[in-house]
């Protein structure tokens, strides 16, 4: 079904905009409010439809020409067509609407979102996939050598990979490394992964870097072919002396996660270091670490401010990861207890505390809901302040119950998903009042936004 000269009304989350046709909400991608377009449905449900733009007649005031030629197909940044100021405004609205409509909360005036210092080349980690057949828009897949690819997934398609030549998310050396690996592999006849048949030597590439110009390179192979592994890694080692951590993984599973796999060190260190403020942090291959360090510094400073710590406070840092927030706030309190379900991250957290001469932190691994018991509080001390930075899914209801039972005077909730944060805050509202809200943009040109909320015991 086709429609002509339709006006796009409003931007919503996940990089989409909406309009209304015959009382039907219609979602579109890569548009901005004020665009006048022709649309064609590709999915229709009872209450909504999704449509693709077949023609643009005019562009809205918030339109900005995308700087990446792969923008229309790549899943990396879906908002390049929108001016950055408009992106920030939308993210602010997303946070406000989530807290009001989902949380049903009484709120103070929400602080203006903090925009990113860098709109491009801000990420310190990228993950790429190999494929034996690159995705070609509007063309059939061609099973020929020239159509091997190393890149990012096509938007909405886990099984299709778009070949990437120039990505604007990470420093340009990342492009050079990725393109060299692809060219070298093709030249030497190494096979690229076939997701359907689960064959092909080369599966994934992870590239991390720090502000000091050091790089970590992790290449994932589907089999332990040492001759091929050595050939590729030696070539990378000699081509890029900036790589101080050259690693590889053997993965014969059907998924690409490396959490449960051994990471082998071929050359250099098994980690790189990064600074946040005056502190140093060890980043191991499996560790979660904020990908936009300048913005992470702002995020941590706000968290520390909202915690309003005193020298006698015992602080619990839930979902502590590698202990970055715990270490960042440790100088302002008596003790920090960091909890995290990934054992390797906890080991990094302990190292990070030692590296920075911090002696008042303790770190424990396990499921947060199982750790937060009355016995644990009795052993380690009741929390005066709790800081929580859960994954996108938010906190388990048992964790929320444990927080309310412990009844710390203050809770600082850091979230990358305003919707699940609002859901959790609605439960905490029984005992806590929202005092301050500060959105922070960590990911320009995407719909993602971090939000820090300060709650105080009623």
Annotated catalytic residues are 416
Phi and psi at residue 366, to the nearest 5°: 150, 175
In the block, residue with structure tokens 């202990």: 323
* Distant-in-sequence, close-in-space partners of 79: CB < 8 Å, separation ≥ 6: 15, 87, 444, 445, 446, 447
In the block, residue with structure tokens 């080991």: 347
In the block, residue with structure tokens 């859960």: 390
Kind of pairing, strands 279-283 and 314-318?
unpaired
What's the CA gap between 213 and 275, in Å, rounded? 12
| Residue 42 CB neighbours (<10 A) | 10
| Residue 142 CB neighbours (<10 A) | 11
Closest CA to 418 of 71, 66, 105: 105
Dihedral angle sign, alpha carbons of residues 3, 6, 9, 13: positive
């Amino acid at each position: 079904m086709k429609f002509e000269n339709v006006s796009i009304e409003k931007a919503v989350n996940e990089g989409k905009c909406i309009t209304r046709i015959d009382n039907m909400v219609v979602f579109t991608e890569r548009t901005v409010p004020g665009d006048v377009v022709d649309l064609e449905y590709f999915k229709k449900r009872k209450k909504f439809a999704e449509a693709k733009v077949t023609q643009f007649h005019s562009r809205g005031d918030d339109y900005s020409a995308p700087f990446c030629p792969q923008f229309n197909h790549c899943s990396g940044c879906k908002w390049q067509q929108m001016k950055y100021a408009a992106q920030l405004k939308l993210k602010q609205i997303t946070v406000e609407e989530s807290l009001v409509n989902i949380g049903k909360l009484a709120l103070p005036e929400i602080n203006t979102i903090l925009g990113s210092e860098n709109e491009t080349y801000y990420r310190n980690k990228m993950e790429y996939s190999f494929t034996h057949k690159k995705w070609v828009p509007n063309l059939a897949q061609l099973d020929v050598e020239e159509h091997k690819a190393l890149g990012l997934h096509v938007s909405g398609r886990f099984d299709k990979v778009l070949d990437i030549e120039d990505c604007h998310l990470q420093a340009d050396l990342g492009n050079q490394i990725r393109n060299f690996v692809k060219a070298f592999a093709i030249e030497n006849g190494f096979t690229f992964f076939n997701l359907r048949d689960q064959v092909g030597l080369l599966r994934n590439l992870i590239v991390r870097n720090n502000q000091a110009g050091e790089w970590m390179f992790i290449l994932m192979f589907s089999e332990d072919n040492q001759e091929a592994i050595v050939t590729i890694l030696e070539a990378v080692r000699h081509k890029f002396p900036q790589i101080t951590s050259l690693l590889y993984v053997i993965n014969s599973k059907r998924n690409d996660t490396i959490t449960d796999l051994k990471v082998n060190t071929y050359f250099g260190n098994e980690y790189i270091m990064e600074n946040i403020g005056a502190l140093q942090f060890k980043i191991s291959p499996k560790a979660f670490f904020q990908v936009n360090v300048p913005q992470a510094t702002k995020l941590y400073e706000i968290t520390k401010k909202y915690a309003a710590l005193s020298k006698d406070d015992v602080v619990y840092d839930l979902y502590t990861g590698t202990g970055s927030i715990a270490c960042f706030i440790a100088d302002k309190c008596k003790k920090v207890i960091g909890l995290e379900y990934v054992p390797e991250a906890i080991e990094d957290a302990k190292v990070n505390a030692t590296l920075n001469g911090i002696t008042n932190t303790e770190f424990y691994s396990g499921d947060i809901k199982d750790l937060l018991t009355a016995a644990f509080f009795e052993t380690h001390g009741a929390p005066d302040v709790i800081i929580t930075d859960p994954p996108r899914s938010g906190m388990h209801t048992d964790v929320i119950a444990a927080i309310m039972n412990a009844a710390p005077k203050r809770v600082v909730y850091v979230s990358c998903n305003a919707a699940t944060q609002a859901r959790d805050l609605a439960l905490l509202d029984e005992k806590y009042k929202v005092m301050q809200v500060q959105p922070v943009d960590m990911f320009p040109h995407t719909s993602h936004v971090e939000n820090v909320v300060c709650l105080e015991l009623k």
